[in-house]
Amino acid sequence: MKLDQFNKNAITFQIKYMRKAEIKVRHYTAGWLTQDEEGYHFVYETAYLILPDAQAVSLTLPLQKPPFASKVLFPFFDGLIPEGWLLDIAERNWKLDPRDRMGLLLACCKDCIGAVSVHAVKQAEV
């Protein structure tokens, strides 16, 4: 395999396996959650940070400009994923892998209880 072909495949792999979600607090875009080969990243939207009534998504994700990074899904977002019988229904109906926490978050948490919602960003928008 030529080096150019290898680089092209590596770029395709990176793009293919990056997933992104828009995180909203009430009706404001508060930030962006991404998953890539290095793990999970959350960064607040600059426009949200300057709002006078901006609230942190979670106490564990305080308002700040630098991004947060983790090898596993941040506990706050993991806590939004349904459990028990509701999770069973979601897994069955949408054929979701229970170990794919980002997939579950994207599929199940657009309209969850509370002020925070998770909206999948289509691959073309990444």
Rounded CA separation 101/104 (Å): 5
The reported pTM is: 0.80
Rounded CA separation 75/84 (Å): 18
Q: What angle do CA 31, 61, 53 make, to 5 degrees?
A: 65
| Residue 64, helix vs strand vs coil | coil
The per-residue pLDDT for 71 is 97
| pLDDT (tens place) for every residue of the chain, 126 residues total | 454 554 554 444 444 569 999 999 999 999 999 999 999 999 999 999 999 999 999 999 999 999 999 999 999 999 999 888 888 888 888 888 888 999 999 998 888 888 999 999 987 544
The per-residue pLDDT for 10 is 47
Write down the domain spans for the chain.
3-125
